[in-house]
Amino acid sequence: MKKSVFLGTLAATTMIAGVAAAGTLDDVKARGELICGSNTGLTGFGAPDANGNWVGFDVALCRAVAAAVLGDQNKVKFVPTTGETRFTALASGEVDILVRNSTWTYSRDNDLKLDFVAVNYYDGQGFMVKKDLGVSSAKELDGATVCIQTGTTTELNLADFFKFNNISYTPVTVQDDSEAQRQYLAGACDAYTTDASGLAAARATMADSENHVILPEIISKEPLGPVVRHGDNQWGDIVRWTFFSLLIAEEKGITKANIEEVAASTTDPEVRRMLGLEGNMGAMLGLDAGAFKNAISANGNYGEIFEANIGSATPIGLARGLNALWTQGGLQYAPPFR
Amino acid sequence: MALASEAPKESFRLSMLIYDTRYRSMTIQVVVLILVLLFVGWLADNTIQNLAAKDKDINFGFLWNRAGYDIEQQLIPYTNDSTHGRAAIIGLLNTLVVAFFGCVFATIIGVFVGVLRLSNNWLVSRLMTVYVEAFRNVPLLLWIILVFVVMSETRPQPRDFRVTDEMIASGTEPAAKMWFWDSVAVTNRGTDLPAPVLDRGLGSIDIGSVPVNLSVLLTLAVIVASVLANRALLRRARAIQEETGERPVTWWKSLAILFLPTIALLMALGFHLDYPVFKGFNFQGGISVMHSFTALVIALSLYTGAFIAEIVRAGIMAISRGQSEAAFALGLRPGRTMSLIILPQALRVIIPPLISQYLNLTKNTSLGIAVSYLDLRGTLGGITLNQTGRELECMLLMMLTYLIISLIISSLMNVFNSSVKLKER
Ligand SMILES: N[C@@H](CCC(=O)N[C@@H](CS)C(=O)NCC(=O)O)C(=O)O
């Protein structure tokens, strides 16, 4: 897995002429399949279920893009990537889009030559410890051993946090979430730190989830979102507006269940434009008129996807918080569809 | 004879490049060389073009930027404010230290097992066969992970070692206890050992931002001087023996020369041991050896040891039986026959394949990332590569470094090989 990505990088940079050139849309259409870089397995965000179907909050966005572009949310292949391999996989053309709890930062945007096209989850980094450790604040972790995933922003934030607070720690740098959880549960580290959403997801899968607490400190901003290669603006716009269409759908009360009904009866001009009943918005991006309708029908609007995968009714139990619509005091806001 | 050598003198024609066997091999070599160069040139050109298409260049400037991440095991000082270049050096040193210990232990294991596999004792030789086959035939990565998981799952957590006042009052024992009179603790994270410390150390000087401990240097110098002095003593004793036929008693003088100066120096420097004690979350003080390191060394030496055992066995079997029979006829015991007659000759057969085992082991250290060991692959080829997005640069640097390490190892071993070579007089 590891080796193949590296060899892939070398091979891709040395042998294939012009992979990074524009035209991801054409490639995907010609292939008849979207290739989406996902988690190796993070319950609620992206993981195969018991039947091997990928499900999750991030996965649903990939499916919406596949529905918009190819008209079928099942025409997606999910490629598991670790924190370390994900950007190489995207840059080398191994995947068309990366939706994997990836934080939008300045250097990833500019140095790695990637484009973050939206924020589908506003997050921050937290710490999880076992309850019986008797720790109630991250600042009490002086001298603790902390498990951290390699190749992440969280690794850098962790160093900054401990330095800023003038306390020390021992890092245990692990490769993926499952190894981090194993070491944390085995007591090889006192604390596990990653995005707070990831901690909630990890805790939900632990057999004794009530024995673990997530500490109150959120030590960073982690705007997580879908990533595409730099330079293919059309493809970036497709992903961005697919995501926005899910937000607008929630704002306008369009759900997976009522979308046909709305399409038949609505008089709202923005909704009519978005669902392809009026004008030719899809064509501007090289898509069918019904592209965004397909995207919404796939797994419902943003709110539905949130509640079905990570919302308060699920074991992960995340509140909407910052991720509520702007109309409900959150940060999720889509520009007008016109 | 004279007629045959008198070939008709032809002038050179172009077709001779293909049809004349004198020139043909040269032609083929030149053509192949040109093709290879063209291919390499095409690869390089394509790389540059593809990078340009992605708006990237080849630039090693990132090595001087702040790394921003922490590394657990550091042989020279490093903080997250150090550069990516220094992080790479930390990783390189971690690679080398694992490779060094791995090679030493693998050799010891390999020689013992290789010899014992030829033992006449049925049980011993069968046990060694089982060991060799088990380790040779299971992938190394699995062994590394197995050893690591066993260590981290079976040992108690550091806080199980805690002794509180209430526990002393009520007389309850802690869940886990340290070994060797409370000096060594093996937790599920690592092994905490007493550390040698000096109260009146000589400090250190920085050579190229690597601090060099003067006390250690002085101690080493004293040890070397004692060994040299002891040699002189033994030489004198031999001279006297040859002259008078009577050897003076030297053992207590040797002991004194070898140990007293070092002990005196260490006392003068205020030497004592700093014992690890449990405080907060972990043991503080002493030396802490992470299980990732231990697991890597154990797995690498057991795995490579199995291959070396086979090489040693083959080397021994290559020595004709006549040699050992002759040695037995002279009355040498089997152990001495092995160490004085067989092994020195077998070395010549053993060393060339041994070199490739050392190279393998060194390169295999890059599997350490599986158990969170930050070696060159984990720092330069892992975190730095990922945080800077300089894949090509990092991969090239890493390949170059492994190449250089391997070349150094094999040239050192070649020197050794020529020194044990059959000397023809
Ligand atoms: N947001 C951070 C961290 C991303 C990350 O690695 N998240 C973890 C937990 S939230 C994850 O997805 N692990 C699953 C896996 O390793 O596949 C980043 O972009 O660097």
> Rounded to whole angstroms, how far apart are CA atoms B216 and B224?
12
Q: Could you tell me which residues come within 8 angstroms of residue A88 by beta carbon, excluding any fewer than 6 positions away?
A: A5, A6, A8, A9, A94, B386, B391
What residues form DSSP beta bridges with A332? A325
Element (H, E) at B348: helix B343-364
Binding site membership of A102 for ligand 1 (Cβ less than 6 Å): yes
| Alpha carbon of A25: minimum distance to chain B alpha carbons (Å) | 17
Q: Cα(A151) to centroid of ligand 1, in Å?
A: 9
| Chain B interface disruption, residue of A142, A173, A179, most B CBs within 10 A | A173
> Rounded to whole angstroms, how far apart are CA atoms B224 and B421?
29
Q: Work out the average pLDDT over A128-143.
A: 91
| pLDDT tens, residue order, chain B (425 aa) | 455 555 666 677 878 878 888 888 888 899 999 999 999 999 988 888 888 877 778 889 999 999 999 998 888 889 889 999 999 999 999 999 999 999 999 999 999 999 899 888 899 999 999 999 999 999 999 999 999 999 988 888 888 887 777 777 777 777 777 777 777 888 888 888 888 887 777 777 777 777 778 888 888 899 999 999 999 988 988 898 888 888 888 888 888 888 888 888 888 887 888 888 888 888 888 888 999 999 999 999 999 999 999 999 999 999 888 888 999 899 988 888 888 888 888 888 898 899 889 999 999 999 998 898 999 999 998 899 888 888 889 999 999 999 999 999 889 888 888 887 777 66
Does B383 sit within 8 Å of A155, measured CB to CB? yes
Domains of chain A with bracketed CATH: 21-122+224-328 (3.40.190.10), 125-220 (3.40.190.10)
Binding site membership of A332 for ligand 1 (Cβ less than 6 Å): no
| Alpha carbon of A94: minimum distance to chain B alpha carbons (Å) | 15
User: The tokens of A89 are what?
Assistant: 């996989």
The beta strand positions in chain A, using DSSP E, are: 34-38, 47-48, 54-55, 76-80, 97-98, 114-116, 121-123, 125-130, 144-149, 169-174, 191-195, 212-214, 222-224, 227-229
State residue B315's pLDDT score: 92
> Rounded to whole angstroms, how far apart are CA atoms B145 and A63?
36
Nearest to A187 among B43, B188, B388 (CB): B188
State residue B181's pLDDT score: 76
pLDDT digits (tens, 9 = 90+) for A12-36: 454 444 444 468 999 999 999 999 9
CB contact at 8 A, A100 and A47: no
Does B152 sit within 8 Å of A19, measured CB to CB? no
Domains of chain B with bracketed CATH: 60-163+288-425 (1.10.3720.10), 195-274 (no CATH)
Mean pLDDT, chain A, rounded, equals 89
> Rounded to whole angstroms, how far apart are CA atoms B171 and A24?
71
Ligand 1 atom with the shortest distance to the CA of A155? 20
CB contact at 8 A, A323 and A332: yes
Nearest to B386 among A87, A171, A229 (CB): A87
pLDDT digits (tens, 9 = 90+) for B260-314: 888 888 888 878 888 888 888 888 888 889 999 999 999 999 999 999 999 999 9
Contacts of residue A83 in chain B, CB cutoff 8 Å?
386
**What's the complex ipTM?**
0.80
CB contact at 8 A, B107 and B307: no
Nearest to A20 among B53, B188, B280 (CB): B53
pLDDT digits (tens, 9 = 90+) for A65-76: 999 999 999 999
Residue A14: closest C-alpha in chain B? B47
Question: Hey, is the C-beta of B51 within 8 angstroms of any chain A C-beta?
Answer: yes
CA dihedral A12, A17, A19, A24 (to 10 degrees): -150
State residue A88's pLDDT score: 87
pTM: 0.82
- Over 90: is that where the pLDDT of A325 sits? yes
Contacts of residue A163 in chain B, CB cutoff 8 Å?
80
Which of A263, A322, A332, A265 shows the shortest CA–CA distance to A296? A263
pLDDT digits (tens, 9 = 90+) for B335-380: 888 888 888 888 888 988 998 899 999 999 999 988 989 999 999 9
Counting ligand 1 atoms within 8 A of each CB, the residue from A84, A100, A182 with the most, and so the one to mutate, is: A100
Q: Cα(A95) to centroid of ligand 1, in Å?
A: 17
